[in-house]
Chain A
Amino acid sequence: MLAFIIRRLLQAIVVMLTVALIAFTLFRFVGDPINMMVGIETTNEERAQLRQDLGLNDPVAIQFARFVGNAVRLDFGNSYQFKTPVIDLIADRFPATMELAIASAIFSLVIGIPMGVYTALHRRSWLSNIFLAASLIGISLPTFLIGILLIFLFPVTLGVLPSFGRGEVVRLGFWTTGLLTASGLKALVLPAITLGLFQMTLIMRLVRGEMLEVLRTDYIKFARARGLTDRAVNFGHALKNTLVPVMTIAGLQLGSIIAFALITESVFQWPGMGLLFLKAVQNVDIPIMSAYLLLVAFIFVTINLIVDILYAVVDPRIRIDARAAA
């Protein structure tokens, strides 16, 4: 088991380094960092001096090593736009994105899994058909469009729920949360649904597909042949076997939720990391762009790793084989 974990960790590090390389290339070679950092009045001597001070004349390998070293210490330099450390800007907006992401993940799981199970077990009922039709619409609508439609429906037409911002937030140490205020919670609703809808339909279709496959297997047939109750067969056996692969994919989806949060943040002007990145791309603020890239890579890689380990824990075939191989 330990060997398995170590192997996966090494793979993760390789991925991170590759992404770091890309981020570094971005940082160093797209446009001229010096020209973007300073104003027009700076003389050429000052620029040359700055170039020397920042180590931009050193060999590329050394610069890369320095870049990685800095990244590990969470030092990404200063933003071109705001002239403040990138890490501060990101840390400031991190809680907003995380709360949104987790709220929508919970929404998508809590609604998606039961819907998927229902449509698999009751294949011909009218409710199943409605769910399936809704799911098709769910994956066809781009996230931003869902946001727009929700805004049109609730704040504009019905006058309930806010259409932008986060509401009042409460500061707890380094974290700011909107969950403790009424306005904060109300502001969370539409963005969470917008972000979560796509994931919810994915999960629903996934659970349905997996469950239908599982219901066709021999061990389910044998379970029925042994006279086990429908409840035991459907929920004890079929559901458990369905959830194992579903869980992996759902876990991987959490990563994409954090990425897609970007779009939702734009629609609702939610002050999260995504919005920060967006403005950075529009203004070619490279330090923020490369930092965001590394951060997102890190989050994805970590989630993948955790999901892989979790999978090994839950599926006895992998767990026992991994132990045997170690």
Chain B
Amino acid sequence: MTPVLSVQNLRVEFPTRRGVLTAIEDVSFDIAPGEVLGVVGESGAGKSITGTAIIGLIEPPGRIASGQILLRGQRIDNLPPDEMRRIRGKRIGMVFQDPLTSLNPLYRIGDQLVETIATHTDLSASQARQKALALLTEVGIPAPETRIDNYPHQFSGGMRQRVVLALALAAEPELVIADEPTTALDVSVQAQIIALLKRLCAQHGAAVMLITHDMGVIAETADRVAVMYAGRIAEIGPVREVIKAPLHPYTRGLMGSIPSLTHDSDRLVQIPGSMPRLTAIPSGCPFHPRCSTCRSPGSIA
């Protein structure tokens, strides 16, 4: 079966005055239809850039330097801007971190929903509004008939993110990229939103690329997980396996550093050192300066 998304050897570069910065290098993974792929890593590891590259929103002078992105077997990384625009929203949806800044404060959410629906379908204005109401109900907004005419600042953080989800799913995309969707929310609300995301995507048959730095969320929600470090994928595999038996020393370090609720320890476990800056990535395997099990610096784990 063709994967919904297939990323092959993707490399994204940013020319700066100090030279060319490689944000992500040799990134490859597939997402099967309806599957939830978690992408996990520290800040700066390249997770967001990967998501942004897939949906084609890398700002110049940044660019996709090499590699391919295939949506259901069809290349999308080299499409002309207008065709890429048609894919956005309709076939790939994206949700960002901060629901407050994701919504235009001057427009009612109903107008923003109807606009998105109208762009991608041929529904009439009243039909689009009906659909918007249905979407709001689906994401769990109470009293949608009144709230559809509210402005974004009249909603709480969690409610806003639900609206954002409704907007992202409005045109029924096949793939939803969720970039840290719960980081800006209260802990109590985070679980609700993640559950909602998973349920909606399952219902609409959409695959999910869930980007987060929170391993707990991945463990609960994802089918497979890709661990990123310094712009590359360190390890990728089914969630259970990666958590139980990590292969890459970085992943092992990550798993080992999660504090346990069950037994006491005197110190929190840490991976020594810190992730290198993008301008100073060591050659070969980028983790090798911090790696305790590394045999030869040049090999890739």
Tell whether A pairs with B: yes
A268 to B89, CA, bound (A): 58
Instruction: For residue A211, give the distance in angstroms from its CB to the closest CB of chain B.
Output: 14
Decide: A317 and B98 in contact? CB cutoff 8 A. Answer: no
In the complex, which residues of chain A have a beta carbon less than 8 angstroms from the beta carbon of B86?
227
Let me know if A320 is at the binding interface, CB within 8 A: yes
Among A219, A222, A320: residue with most chain B CB under 10 A: A222
Among A224, A236, A240: residue with most chain B CB under 10 A: A224
Q: Contacts A222-B102, A222-B164, A315-B106 given: A228-B96 contact, CB under 8 Å? A: no
Let me know if B151 is at the binding interface, CB within 8 A: yes
Interfacial residues of chain B within 104-125, with CB under 8 A of chain A in the complex: 104-107, 115-116, 119-120
A241 to B101, CA, bound (A): 13
Interfacial residues of chain B within 153-179, with CB under 8 A of chain A in the complex: 153-154, 164, 167-168, 170-171
Let me know if B90 is at the binding interface, CB within 8 A: yes
In the complex, which residues of chain A have a beta carbon less than 8 angstroms from the beta carbon of B101?
217-219
A315 to B151, CA, bound (A): 11
Number of interface residues of A (CB under 8 A): 23
Which residue of chain A is the closest to B117 with respect to CB atoms? Answer: A226
Number of interface residues of B (CB under 8 A): 31
Instruction: For residue B30, give the distance in angstroms from its CB to the closest CB of chain A.
Output: 22
In the complex, which residues of chain B have a beta carbon less than 8 angstroms from the beta carbon of A218?
96, 98, 101-102
Instruction: For residue B216, give the distance in angstroms from its CB to the closest CB of chain A.
Output: 25
Decide: B98 and A225 in contact? CB cutoff 8 A. Answer: no
A316 partner, pick from B105, B164, B167, beta carbons under 8 A = B105
Q: Contacts A218-B96, A317-B153 given: A225-B57 contact, CB under 8 Å? A: yes
Let me know if B103 is at the binding interface, CB within 8 A: yes
A35 to B107, CA, bound (A): 64
Let me know if B278 is at the binding interface, CB within 8 A: no
Which residue of chain B is the closest to A216 with respect to CB atoms? Answer: B59
Q: Contacts A221-B96, A317-B151, A320-B151 given: A226-B104 contact, CB under 8 Å? A: no
Binding site for A on B (CB under 8 A): 55, 57, 85-90, 93-94, 96, 98, 101-107, 115-116, 119-120, 151, 153-154, 164, 167-168, 170-171
| CB<8 Å pairs between A and B, sample of 18 | A217-B101, A218-B98, A219-B101, A219-B103, A221-B96, A222-B103, A225-B94, A225-B168, A226-B88, A226-B89, A226-B93, A226-B167, A227-B86, A227-B171, A230-B85, A241-B105, A316-B151, A320-B153
